[in-house]
Each structure stands twice: as structure tokens, then as C-alpha cells.
Amino acid sequence: MKHSLHITMPATLEAANHRRLLRWVTAAGAGAMLALSSLVQAQGAFPNKPIKIVVPYSTGTGSDTLARTIGQNITEKTGHPVIIENREGAGSLIGTLAVAKAAPDGYTILMAANTLVILPSQKLKPPYNPVTDFSPIVKVAAIPLVLSATPSLNINTVKELIAYAKANPGKLNYGTSGPGPSQNEMELFKQAVGIDVVEIPYKNTAQAMTDLIGGQLALFPAVGPLVLQHLKSGRAKGIAIFDKQRSPQMPDVPAMTDEVSVPGYVATPVWYGFVAPAKTPPDIVAALGTMIQNAMASPEVNARLVSLGAQPLPATTEQFTLEIKNEYEKSSSLAKALGTAK
């Protein structure tokens, strides 16, 4: 009879080997997890490729100049390339929708302005919702909107304007280039103080300014850089600035709040800021905000903004988010009241 040889390992030795094996597996697993974690972190580091800023207007505009100035500074400071892409058309709609539909990864953001909230407020079926379709990053600057008057108009203050307009309803007119900050602010002002001033639409702001200088147009809410030279030469008069503060470039022109105090009425300048697609992770939004704010702190960027007539704004993401919501509600209510929504 054959006998098989069977060796029984002592229980203590078997247990010891089992513990060593378990420690090896655990260590190996931990090492693998650590390697995986490092890989994920490396892949997820932001930014690790160029950031694209979409400007929904043509080159040379205020939005384009601001985006290029800030983008260049970010590139120089961080070494991460920032690309400017101009996608103009449909009053900023084409570029804005492109960003709304982009991947929410922080690599495609929008150089936004007041039209971000004004454009959808003018539509019965809005093409996008500025509150829910975007993640605000930070507001960076404002350019004053000046309520300008033709020199031949015997009106020099807002109080005189209100008094005349109430005594002569419909006799004064003002120019705009269609839906946008100028029209929005003027209509809100009219509604707040209860006056009737007729809107005259123009194809562009240059034509409106020409008629204001020539006396064919009484009033024109124009951005500071467009009207500043004419104020200095006396070819136009500055009645007030649609803001809560005076502009350093036009210290003699009062802020609207210096002249008008109506509950619920807040004048808003032309502002500029950055937004990302909705659902962009908060840490990426914060990283973008930090890069942009660091660029804004640069003396070179500030000097460039001042030369454009822009005022730097230290608005946080939270403030910017609330302001977009409030402005959209205000603009939508105005469009409904005026019956301009189509």
C-alpha cells in the first residue's frame, strides 16, 4: 500500500504567513492607489492646456480689448496660454450660445457684458437663461455710460431735464443703437422718474453721436470713451453718469445717484466680466477667478483699463452671481412693461 506524504503546517506558522501576505497585498494595493491618485491629480491639474476666451463681438471693441489685455497678462504670469476667439453675430448671441454649450471644464469661458442679461430679456422665448446656463466667475470692469446732451439744448442738469420733460411730454428724444445697455438704462430712468422721452433708433453709435453734435438729437446715453473727447471740446454736454459714482475721466459730470433718489432705482454702468458654462466645478471657477483677479491687480492692466475709460471692479463671484440675477429680473420686467419682448 502506498502512503501519501502529508505535511501539516502548524497553525501559528500558517497564520503568520497569512498576515505577511495580507500586509503585502495591502501595501501593493495602497501603492497602486497612490499611483492612481497621483495620475488623476496630474491629469486633473488646472489648467493643463490653453484656456479659450470667447468674445462675442468683433476685434477692437471694448470687450475684445479687455479680454486680450487680461488674457495676455495671465499668459505672462502663469505660462498657461490664453487664446482669444472672436465669435460675433446676432448681437452677441452666437458667441454666448457657443460658451453655454461648451464643456464645463473651465477651458472655454465668455467675456460677458450687460447684453448677457439684456438680450434674453427681450425675447418671449429666451435663447438662454443667464442665471441657470452660466457659472459667473468675476466681474472685472465698468465703463461709464454718460447721459449726453446736444449743446444747443438749454438743459444742464438731471433736475432740469426731468422738469422740462414733464412739462413737455414727448418733445425730447434720445438715440440708441437698439437693445442694449443704453436703451435699457434710459428706459429704466424714464420709468423711475416718470417722463416721456422718445427713442430714436440708429444703426450704430457713431451716427447717433454725429446727430447729437449736429443738434438733430437731444440726448444720447453713450459710453465714456465715445463721448469723452466731445465733452472736452464742448461739442456735447454731460448731464449725468449712469452709476453710483463719478468717473475719474469726467469728474465734473455728476453720478445719477447724486441727482436722482427714487426707491428701487439703481443706475447701472456698462460692465464687463467672465462667465463659464453652467456646472463648471467650483474649484475651477475659483482658479479662473484667482488668475483673472491677479491679472487685474497688475499695474500694466490697470493702466490699460484707465486708458480705455474703464474702472476696475473688485466684484467677487458671489456678488457677480447676485447682480446677474437682479439685472435679468429688472430687464425682463422692463421688457414686459414696455411690450418690447418679441
Q: Is the pTM of this model over 0.85?
A: no
CATH code of the domain in which 275 resides: 3.40.190.150
Q: Is residue 211 assigned to a domain?
A: yes
How many independent structural domains does the chain possess?
Answer: 2
Chain center to CA of 2: 90
The answer as to whether 281 is a domain residue is yes
CA-closest candidate to residue 300, choices 312, 288, 289, 290: 312
Q: How far apart are CA 74 and CA 82, in angstroms?
A: 7
Classify residue 106 as exposed, middle or buried by CB count within 10 Å of its CB (0-12, 13-18, 19+).
buried
The CATH number linked to 177 is 3.40.190.10
* Apex 37 CA angle, 32 and 38, nearest 5: 100
Question: Per residue of the chain (342 residues), what is the pLDDT tens digit?
Answer: 433 333 334 444 344 444 443 443 344 334 433 332 333 333 458 999 999 999 998 887 778 888 999 999 999 988 989 999 999 888 789 999 999 999 999 999 999 998 899 889 888 889 999 999 999 999 999 888 899 999 999 999 999 999 999 999 999 999 987 777 888 889 889 988 999 999 998 887 889 999 999 999 999 998 888 888 999 999 999 999 998 888 888 899 999 988 888 887 888 888 999 999 999 999 999 999 999 999 999 998 888 888 777 888 867 889 999 999 998 988 888 777 767 667
Radius of gyration of the chain (CA): 29
Residues spanned by the domain of 314: 51-142+270-338
For residue 94, the number of C-alpha atoms closer than 13 Å in the C-beta half-sphere is 11
Same domain, 161 and 56: no
Burial class of 79 by CB neighbour count within 10 A (0 to 12, 13 to 18, 19+): exposed
**Side-chain-facing half-sphere of 304: CA atoms under 13 Å:** 19
Q: Same domain, yes or no, for 170 and 97?
A: no
Together in a domain, 168 and 214: yes
Does residue 177 lie in a domain region? yes
Boundary-marking domain end, from 259, 280, 305: 259
Give kind and range of the element (H or E) at residue 175.
strand 173-176
Same domain, 92 and 165: no
219 and 247 inside one domain: yes
Taking the C-alpha atoms of residue 217 and residue 175, their distance in angstroms, rounded to an integer, is 7
**Residues 219, 319: one domain?**
no
Element (H, E) at 138: strand 134-143
- 288 & 211 share domain: no
Do 119 and 202 share a domain, yes or no?
A: no
Last residue within a domain, chosen from 194, 224, 259: 259
C-alpha cell at 80: 498657461
Q: Are residues 151 and 251 in the same domain?
A: yes
Nearest to 107 by CA among 273, 286, 276: 276
